[in-house]
Amino acid sequence: MSSTINNDLYLSSLQKRDTQSGGSSVLGKDDFLKILMTQLQNQDPASPMEDKEFISQMATFSSLEQLTNMNSSIDQLISKQSAQTFMLQSGMIGKSVSYTVETTNADGTQQERKTGTVKAVLFENDTSKFQLEDGTVIDQSSITKLENRNS
């Protein structure tokens, strides 16, 4: 059995390779598993890895895998919540809104209150915006009042 370790599996080599390929410089569970397998394959038979050390590394791997799965679940939850929010906001179409607009002139910054009727709801870059009948697009945070158009 050869006692040489492939240089590509060193931590520094993995980080350089990931950064050069445009990937993340963070090690994932697959990289951790490769390092662990290489370590097991190349250990000294006269002095094998201690049980405690092996259990510790397996616990670390298990934690890493659970964190990865949890991150994926949170991403899915955020995506579904954004879609639900977008659908709820579509109920604002046809409603009259009052909103504030900041304008800057020689006297400084002033806030002006305007009114309009929502024509469409836009969803761009994970943010909702409202297009009014006159073509103005406003951010949801600028809305100060919402009422039925018939009122």
Residue 47, domain member (yes or no): no
- Distance of alpha carbon 78 from alpha carbon 72, whole angstroms: 10
Residue 65, domain member (yes or no): no
pTM: 0.48
- Distance of alpha carbon 29 from alpha carbon 6, whole angstroms: 19
Residue 33, domain member (yes or no): no
pLDDT of 47-77, one tens digit each?
776 677 777 877 887 888 888 889 999 988 9
More confident residue, 88 or 51: 88
Query: Residue 127 has what DSSP assignment?
Result: E
Percent of the chain having pLDDT more than 70?
76
Residue 132, domain member (yes or no): yes
More confident residue, 61 or 141: 141
- Of 126, 139, 133, whose CA–CA distance to 99 is shortest? 139
Q: In the prediction, which pLDDT does 6 show?
A: 61
Q: In the prediction, which pLDDT does 39 show?
A: 77
Q: How many structural domains does the chain have?
A: 1
Residue 115, domain member (yes or no): yes
- Distance of alpha carbon 112 from alpha carbon 54, whole angstroms: 66
* Cβ proximity of 119 and 131 under 8 Å: yes
Q: In the prediction, which pLDDT does 84 show?
A: 82
Q: Where are the alpha helices (DSSP H) in 21-122?
A: 29-41, 51-89
Adjacency order of strands within the sheet including 137-139:
137-139, 127-132, 108-124, 96-105, 143-147
Domain coverage including residue 110: 92-147
pLDDT of 109-134, one tens digit each?
888 899 999 999 988 777 888 999 99
